[in-house]
Protein backbone atom coordinates (compact mmCIF):
# COMPACT_ATOMS: atom_id res chain seq x y z
CA UNK A 1 0.00 0.00 0.00
CA UNK A 2 2.76 2.41 0.93
CA UNK A 3 4.54 1.52 -2.31
CA UNK A 4 1.42 2.30 -4.35
CA UNK A 5 1.07 5.71 -2.64
CA UNK A 6 4.74 6.45 -3.28
CA UNK A 7 4.41 5.48 -6.93
CA UNK A 8 1.29 7.65 -7.28
CA UNK A 9 3.04 10.66 -5.73
CA UNK A 10 5.98 10.23 -8.09
CA UNK A 11 3.59 10.03 -11.06
CA UNK A 12 1.82 13.26 -10.00
CA UNK A 13 5.15 14.99 -9.50
CA UNK A 14 6.32 13.80 -12.91
CA UNK A 15 3.17 15.18 -14.54
CA UNK A 16 3.49 18.57 -12.83
CA UNK A 17 7.18 19.08 -13.57
CA UNK A 18 7.59 18.84 -17.33
CA UNK A 19 11.17 19.16 -18.51
CA UNK A 20 11.78 22.12 -20.82
CA UNK A 21 13.21 21.52 -24.27
CA UNK A 22 16.92 21.37 -24.86
CA UNK A 23 18.67 24.12 -26.85
CA UNK A 24 19.32 21.53 -29.59
CA UNK A 25 16.09 19.57 -29.26
CA UNK A 26 14.92 19.88 -32.88
CA UNK A 27 15.92 21.10 -36.32
CA UNK A 28 14.93 24.70 -35.45
CA UNK A 29 16.75 24.81 -32.15
CA UNK A 30 17.87 28.01 -30.44
CA UNK A 31 21.52 27.43 -31.32
CA UNK A 32 20.67 26.75 -34.95
CA UNK A 33 18.51 29.88 -35.21
CA UNK A 34 21.21 32.01 -33.59
CA UNK A 35 23.75 30.74 -36.11
CA UNK A 36 21.37 31.47 -38.99
CA UNK A 37 20.67 34.98 -37.70
CA UNK A 38 24.38 35.73 -37.33
CA UNK A 39 24.85 34.80 -40.99
CA UNK A 40 21.76 36.82 -41.88
CA UNK A 41 23.16 39.88 -40.10
CA UNK A 42 26.26 39.81 -42.29
CA UNK A 43 24.16 39.51 -45.46
CA UNK A 44 21.76 42.20 -44.26
CA UNK A 45 24.61 44.57 -43.47
CA UNK A 46 26.16 44.15 -46.93
CA UNK A 47 22.77 44.56 -48.59
CA UNK A 48 22.04 47.66 -46.50
CA UNK A 49 25.32 49.26 -47.54
CA UNK A 50 24.47 48.49 -51.16
CA UNK A 51 20.99 50.02 -50.90
CA UNK A 52 22.40 53.10 -49.18
CA UNK A 53 25.07 53.55 -51.86
CA UNK A 54 22.49 53.33 -54.66
CA UNK A 55 20.33 55.95 -52.96
CA UNK A 56 23.30 58.20 -52.22
CA UNK A 57 24.61 57.84 -55.79
CA UNK A 58 21.20 58.88 -57.12
CA UNK A 59 21.12 61.94 -54.87
CA UNK A 60 24.70 62.93 -55.69
CA UNK A 61 24.62 62.47 -59.47
CA UNK A 62 21.01 62.66 -60.63
CA UNK A 63 19.35 65.24 -58.42
CA UNK A 64 20.56 68.12 -60.53
CA UNK A 65 17.57 67.35 -62.77
CA UNK A 66 15.02 67.23 -59.91
CA UNK A 67 13.90 70.90 -60.41
CA UNK A 68 12.65 69.89 -63.87
CA UNK A 69 10.38 67.15 -62.51
CA UNK A 70 6.77 68.13 -61.74
CA UNK A 71 6.51 66.05 -58.52
CA UNK A 72 8.92 65.17 -55.68
CA UNK A 73 8.41 61.41 -56.20
CA UNK A 74 11.85 60.77 -57.70
CA UNK A 75 13.87 62.31 -54.84
CA UNK A 76 11.53 60.71 -52.30
CA UNK A 77 12.42 57.24 -53.66
CA UNK A 78 16.14 57.98 -53.29
CA UNK A 79 15.76 59.20 -49.71
CA UNK A 80 13.65 56.17 -48.75
CA UNK A 81 16.39 53.86 -50.02
CA UNK A 82 19.04 55.84 -48.13
CA UNK A 83 17.06 55.59 -44.88
CA UNK A 84 16.44 51.86 -45.37
CA UNK A 85 20.11 51.22 -46.11
CA UNK A 86 21.30 53.36 -43.19
CA UNK A 87 19.24 51.24 -40.78
CA UNK A 88 21.51 48.27 -41.56
CA UNK A 89 24.37 49.11 -39.18
CA UNK A 90 22.36 49.90 -36.01
CA UNK A 91 20.01 46.99 -36.72
CA UNK A 92 22.89 44.53 -37.03
CA UNK A 93 24.28 45.83 -33.74
CA UNK A 94 20.91 45.41 -32.05
CA UNK A 95 20.52 41.93 -33.50
CA UNK A 96 23.96 40.77 -32.37
CA UNK A 97 23.36 42.08 -28.84
CA UNK A 98 20.00 40.34 -28.71
CA UNK A 99 21.50 37.07 -29.92
CA UNK A 100 24.40 37.19 -27.47
CA UNK A 101 22.28 37.96 -24.41
CA UNK A 102 19.18 36.11 -25.68
CA UNK A 103 17.17 39.10 -24.57
CA UNK A 104 13.64 38.73 -25.90
CA UNK A 105 12.95 42.48 -25.78
CA UNK A 106 15.95 43.20 -28.00
CA UNK A 107 14.85 40.47 -30.40
CA UNK A 108 11.35 41.91 -30.51
CA UNK A 109 12.67 45.41 -31.33
CA UNK A 110 14.98 43.85 -33.90
CA UNK A 111 12.00 42.14 -35.56
CA UNK A 112 9.97 45.35 -35.66
CA UNK A 113 12.79 47.32 -37.26
CA UNK A 114 13.34 44.59 -39.84
CA UNK A 115 9.67 44.93 -40.73
CA UNK A 116 10.07 48.70 -41.03
CA UNK A 117 13.08 48.18 -43.32
CA UNK A 118 11.02 45.86 -45.48
CA UNK A 119 8.23 48.45 -45.74
CA UNK A 120 10.69 51.23 -46.69
CA UNK A 121 12.45 49.18 -49.37
CA UNK A 122 9.31 47.64 -50.81
CA UNK A 123 7.59 51.06 -50.73
CA UNK A 124 10.49 52.71 -52.55
CA UNK A 125 10.59 49.92 -55.15
CA UNK A 126 6.83 49.98 -55.72
CA UNK A 127 6.82 53.76 -55.98
CA UNK A 128 9.64 53.62 -58.53
CA UNK A 129 7.71 51.09 -60.65
CA UNK A 130 4.60 53.28 -60.52
CA UNK A 131 6.45 56.50 -61.31
CA UNK A 132 8.37 54.88 -64.16
CA UNK A 133 5.05 54.72 -66.02
CA UNK A 134 3.72 58.12 -64.92
CA UNK A 135 6.86 60.20 -65.50
CA UNK A 136 6.55 60.09 -69.31
CA UNK A 137 3.10 61.68 -69.23
CA UNK A 138 4.08 64.24 -66.61
CA UNK A 139 7.19 65.40 -68.45
CA UNK A 140 5.43 65.47 -71.80
CA UNK A 141 2.75 67.72 -70.35
CA UNK A 142 4.85 70.09 -68.21
CA UNK A 143 8.52 70.13 -69.21
CA UNK A 144 8.04 72.70 -71.98
CA UNK A 145 6.13 74.97 -69.60
CA UNK A 146 8.98 74.75 -67.10
CA UNK A 147 11.46 75.74 -69.80
CA UNK A 148 9.66 78.77 -71.18
CA UNK A 149 8.36 80.09 -67.86
CA UNK A 150 11.25 79.68 -65.41
CA UNK A 151 14.46 79.78 -67.45
CA UNK A 152 16.64 82.76 -66.41
CA UNK A 153 14.11 83.65 -63.71
CA UNK A 154 14.85 80.73 -61.39
CA UNK A 155 18.58 80.02 -60.94
CA UNK A 156 18.06 76.39 -59.92
CA UNK A 157 15.85 75.63 -62.91
CA UNK A 158 18.23 77.52 -65.24
CA UNK A 159 21.21 75.45 -64.09
CA UNK A 160 19.19 72.23 -64.46
CA UNK A 161 18.07 73.13 -67.99
CA UNK A 162 21.60 74.03 -69.08
CA UNK A 163 22.98 70.82 -67.56
CA UNK A 164 20.34 68.75 -69.36
CA UNK A 165 20.89 70.41 -72.75
CA UNK A 166 24.64 69.95 -72.44
CA UNK A 167 24.45 66.33 -71.29
CA UNK A 168 21.86 65.14 -73.81
CA UNK A 169 23.00 67.44 -76.63
CA UNK A 170 19.52 68.80 -77.24
CA UNK A 171 17.71 72.13 -77.38
CA UNK A 172 14.32 73.00 -75.94
CA UNK A 173 11.69 70.62 -74.59
CA UNK A 174 10.15 69.46 -77.89
CA UNK A 175 12.32 71.38 -80.36
CA UNK A 176 14.62 74.39 -80.48
CA UNK A 177 11.92 76.86 -81.61
CA UNK A 178 10.20 76.44 -78.21
CA UNK A 179 12.65 79.03 -76.89
CA UNK A 180 10.98 81.73 -79.05
CA UNK A 181 8.00 81.62 -76.68
CA UNK A 182 10.02 81.95 -73.48
CA UNK A 183 10.23 84.92 -71.16
CA UNK A 184 14.01 84.67 -71.47
CA UNK A 185 13.85 85.29 -75.25
CA UNK A 186 11.52 88.26 -74.82
CA UNK A 187 14.06 89.88 -72.51
CA UNK A 188 16.75 89.74 -75.24
CA UNK A 189 15.29 88.86 -78.69
CA UNK A 190 18.76 88.72 -80.23
CA UNK A 191 19.43 85.46 -78.37
CA UNK A 192 17.43 82.76 -80.14
CA UNK A 193 18.45 79.86 -77.90
CA UNK A 194 20.53 79.52 -74.72
CA UNK A 195 24.26 78.99 -75.16
CA UNK A 196 23.86 75.45 -73.76
CA UNK A 197 22.09 74.54 -77.04
CA UNK A 198 25.25 75.14 -79.06
CA UNK A 199 27.38 72.34 -80.43
CA UNK A 200 30.44 74.31 -79.30
CA UNK A 201 29.54 76.45 -76.30
CA UNK A 202 30.86 80.01 -76.44
CA UNK A 203 29.44 83.25 -75.01
CA UNK A 204 26.31 84.35 -76.93
CA UNK A 205 26.64 81.52 -79.43
CA UNK A 206 22.86 81.15 -79.24
CA UNK A 207 22.37 84.20 -81.48
CA UNK A 208 22.60 81.92 -84.53
CA UNK A 209 20.22 78.98 -84.90
CA UNK A 210 21.75 77.28 -87.90
CA UNK A 211 21.93 73.45 -87.61
CA UNK A 212 25.71 73.64 -87.83
CA UNK A 213 25.70 75.73 -84.66
CA UNK A 214 22.92 74.31 -82.43
CA UNK A 215 21.07 71.05 -81.81
CA UNK A 216 17.61 70.96 -83.37
CA UNK A 217 15.98 68.06 -81.51
CA UNK A 218 14.30 68.57 -78.14
CA UNK A 219 15.21 67.06 -74.80
CA UNK A 220 11.96 65.54 -73.58
CA UNK A 221 12.39 62.04 -75.06
CA UNK A 222 16.01 61.59 -74.02
CA UNK A 223 15.37 63.03 -70.58
CA UNK A 224 12.29 60.84 -70.08
CA UNK A 225 14.17 57.69 -71.12
CA UNK A 226 17.04 58.61 -68.81
CA UNK A 227 14.72 59.03 -65.80
CA UNK A 228 12.77 55.87 -66.63
CA UNK A 229 15.92 53.75 -66.93
CA UNK A 230 17.15 54.97 -63.57
CA UNK A 231 13.74 54.39 -61.97
CA UNK A 232 13.88 50.76 -63.16
CA UNK A 233 17.21 50.39 -61.34
CA UNK A 234 15.77 51.91 -58.16
CA UNK A 235 12.68 49.70 -58.40
CA UNK A 236 14.77 46.55 -58.84
CA UNK A 237 17.00 47.46 -55.89
CA UNK A 238 14.06 48.35 -53.63
CA UNK A 239 11.87 45.34 -54.39
CA UNK A 240 14.78 42.90 -54.66
CA UNK A 241 16.42 43.90 -51.39
CA UNK A 242 13.09 44.01 -49.52
CA UNK A 243 13.05 40.19 -49.62
CA UNK A 244 16.08 39.97 -47.30
CA UNK A 245 14.60 41.54 -44.12
CA UNK A 246 11.55 39.28 -44.42
CA UNK A 247 13.72 36.21 -43.79
CA UNK A 248 15.36 37.89 -40.80
CA UNK A 249 11.96 38.89 -39.44
CA UNK A 250 10.66 35.31 -39.64
CA UNK A 251 13.77 33.75 -38.07
CA UNK A 252 13.89 36.32 -35.25
CA UNK A 253 10.19 35.77 -34.46
CA UNK A 254 10.73 32.00 -34.24
CA UNK A 255 13.78 32.51 -32.01
CA UNK A 256 11.80 34.91 -29.81
CA UNK A 257 9.26 32.12 -29.15
CA UNK A 258 11.87 29.36 -28.82
CA UNK A 259 13.94 31.13 -26.15
CA UNK A 260 10.98 30.94 -23.78
CA UNK A 261 10.93 27.14 -23.94
CA UNK A 262 14.55 26.12 -23.50
CA UNK A 263 16.81 25.26 -20.60
CA UNK A 264 19.21 28.11 -19.69
Q: How many residues in the chain?
A: 264
Please list, in sequence order, all residues whose beta carbon lies within 8 angstroms of the beta carbon of residue 97, skipping any fewer than 6 positions away.
103, 106
Cβ within 8 Å of residue 105, ≥6 positions away: none
Residue 63: pLDDT over 60: yes
Look at residue 5 and tell me whether its pLDDT is greater than 50. no
- Distance, in Å, from the CA atom of 177 to the CA atom of 38, rounded to the nearest integer, reads 62
User: Each residue of 217-245: pLDDT tens digit?
Assistant: 888 899 999 999 999 999 999 999 999 99
Q: Tell me the C-alpha distance between 52 and 89, whole Å.
A: 11
Helix (H, G, I), strand (E, B) or coil at 262: strand
pLDDT of amino acid 24: 55
Residue 143 has pLDDT above 50, yes or no: yes
pLDDT of residue 54: 92
pLDDT at 11: 44
Q: Kindly tell me if the per-residue pLDDT of 27 is higher than 70.
A: no
Amino acid sequence: MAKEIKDGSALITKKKIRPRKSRDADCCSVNFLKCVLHIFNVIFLVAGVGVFLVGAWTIATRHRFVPLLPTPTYPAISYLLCIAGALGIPLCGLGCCGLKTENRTSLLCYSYFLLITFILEAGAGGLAYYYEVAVEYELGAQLNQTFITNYALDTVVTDAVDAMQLEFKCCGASKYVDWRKSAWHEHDPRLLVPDSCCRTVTPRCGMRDHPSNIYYHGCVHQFTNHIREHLIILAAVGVGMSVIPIFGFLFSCVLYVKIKHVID
